[in-house]
Structures are given as structure tokens and as C-alpha cells.
């Protein structure tokens, strides 16, 4: 069957998650194997995962076309509209990944502790998400526990974007990553998650250090 969108990267059933699957050994990591989401949904999910890998960063993910579009944000999202947060686009993730909180073993891709820092639903503020992504200017609304209101992702260079809060009632100068540092899923800190998942002593120490680091 012919595809009417030649720009689509879906060359096989798991095409959009091929890179995700290629980077991981599912017999070793507790992360979910990449499968594409099925069918029409009434709402679109978003998640922000706080991840102490080789460095602390926040993985910002928006559901689109059966996968989670993903960006690694080193400083994390800011609800202050004067902050432009660098966001490096990474490989699409499976929707099931939104449930993942735990520890990726040492030596594996992204090894370290992962926290579900925020989650909820999102709505595009554009008529066509694919066109907005191609243009490099995606406006959207978040409905999370910590993040809400209107936002924009603007592409500077290939894969390099800025995540910016628009001015609205949900904007503030509060440092949200410091003020609300715990998991929305378990209320645990990174160290609490690491301890429960049986992290190595080194990973536990890194999680404790990341909990103490007050960004900005
Ligand atoms: Mn990550």
C-alpha cells in the first residue's frame, strides 16, 4: 500500500521506534520494549522524566502519532517566560515509557535513576502538528500537576530546540524544578527511587547528589 506522506519515517511497523529499540538491551534494562501505540485516543499524554544519567537532565515527551516525541532538557523546564531552555531532540520513545520510574543498570544506554517528575495531557495550539514540527515552531498547552498553560518549542538547528513558557496565568518566576523536586507518581526523591530499585552504591550516591543540587 502506498503512503500518501512520503516525509513519514515509518518504513516498517516499528520504524519510528527502531532507534529506541536498537539502543537498549531489554534482557538487562527494566525499560519497556518499544511498540507503537494503537488507535485513536481522546487525549494526548505528556510526561517529564527527571533522569540522572551521565548528567542530570529532564526528558520532555509529547505523544504524537503513537510515539512520544522526546527532548532532553539539561536545566529542566522553567515556568519563567524569560528563560529559554535548551532542548535536544532525542529518539522517539514508546508511550508505555511514560510509566517508567526506576533505575537503568550501569553500563546500559542512559544508565542511572529515572523519576516521573510531571505528567498529564497536552493540546496542540496549531492546526497541524506535523507541519508545525517541520517548520520548527510548535505551540501547545500542558495540563500537568506542575506544568500548565501555553508553551512553545522553537527549533534553532537540526534537533536543537528551545522550550519556552508563554506569558499567561500559569507563568511565574518560581524555580519549579527546585520547588517541586519529587516524583508525581511515587512522591519519592531520586535517591528514594534508586534505593527502592536496588541501585548500585555509585548510582545511589549520584542520585543523592542530584537531589541536593539546586539548579539555577
Ligand atoms: Mn534521559
Q: Could you tell me the distance, in angstroms and rounded to a whole number, from the CA of residue 110 to the centre of ligand 1? A: 6
Q: What is the mean pLDDT of residues 114-136?
A: 97
Give me ligand 1 centre to Cα 51, in Å.
Answer: 5
**What mean pLDDT do residues 145-160 have?**
98
With a cut of 60, say whether residue 139 has pLDDT above it.
yes
Across 85-108, average pLDDT: 97
Number of Cβ atoms within 10 Å of the Cβ of 35: 15
How far is the centre of ligand 1, averaged over its atoms, from the C-alpha of 54 (Å)? 9
What integer pLDDT is reported at residue 175 of this predicted model? 95
- pLDDT at 40 > cutoff 80: no
Rounded to the nearest integer, the mean pLDDT of the chain is 92
Q: How far is the CA of 81 from the centre of ligand 1 (A)?
A: 24
The stretch 12-30 carries a mean pLDDT of: 87
Ligand 1 centroid–CA 1 distance in Å is 36
Q: What span, in angstroms and rounded, lies between the C-alpha atoms of 153 and 31? A: 27
Question: What's the pLDDT tens digit per position in 165-179?
Answer: 999 999 999 999 999
Domain ranges of the chain: 23-31+42-206
Please check the confidence at residue 39 and state whether its pLDDT lies above 80.
no
Distance, CA of 85 to CA of 99 (rounded, Å): 25
pLDDT at 13: 64
According to the model, what pLDDT value does residue 4 have? 43
Q: Which of 41-45, 123-127, 170-174 has the lowest mean pLDDT?
A: 41-45
Q: What percentage of residues in the chain have a pLDDT greater than 90? A: 85
Structural contact between residues 66 and 34, judged by C-beta atoms closer than 8 angstroms? no
Q: CA-CA distance, 205 to 216, in Å (whole number)? A: 21
Amino acid at each position: 500500500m502506498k503512503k500518501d506522506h512520503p516525509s513519514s519515517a515509518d518504513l516498517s511497523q516499528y520504524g519510528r521506534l527502531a532507534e529506541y529499540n536498537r539502543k537498549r538491551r531489554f534482557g538487562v534494562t527494566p525499560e519497556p520494549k518499544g511498540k507503537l501505540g494503537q488507535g485513536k485516543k481522546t487525549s494526548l499524554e505528556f510526561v517529564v522524566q527527571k533522569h540522572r544519567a551521565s548528567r542530570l537532565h529532564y526528558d520532555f515527551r509529547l505523544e504524537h502519532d503513537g510515539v512520544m516525541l522526546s527532548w532532553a532538557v539539561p536545566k529542566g523546564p522553567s515556568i519563567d517566560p524569560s528563560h529559554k531552555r535548551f532542548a535536544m531532540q532525542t529518539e522517539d520513545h514508546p508511550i508505555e515509557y511514560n510509566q517508567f520510574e526506576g533505575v537503568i543498570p550501569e553500563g546500559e544506554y542512559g544508565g542511572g535513576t529515572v523519576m516521573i517528575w510531571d505528567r498529564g495531557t497536552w493540546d496542540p495550539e496549531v492546526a497541524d502538528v506535523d507541519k508545525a514540527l517541520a517548520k520548527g515552531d510548535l505551540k501547545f498547552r500542558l495540563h500537568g500537576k506542575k506544568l500548565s498553560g501555553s508553551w512553545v518549542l522553537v527549533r534553532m538547528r537540526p534537533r536543537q530546540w528551545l522550550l519556552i513558557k508563554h506569558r499567561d496565568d500559569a507563568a511565574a518566576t518560581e524555580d519549579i524544578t527546585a520547588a517541586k523536586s519529587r516524583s508525581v507518581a511515587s512522591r519519592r526523591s531520586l535517591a528514594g527511587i534508586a534505593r527502592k530499585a536496588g541501585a548500585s552504591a555509585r548510582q545511589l550516591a549520584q542520585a543523592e547528589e542530584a537531589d541536593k543540587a539546586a539548579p539555577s
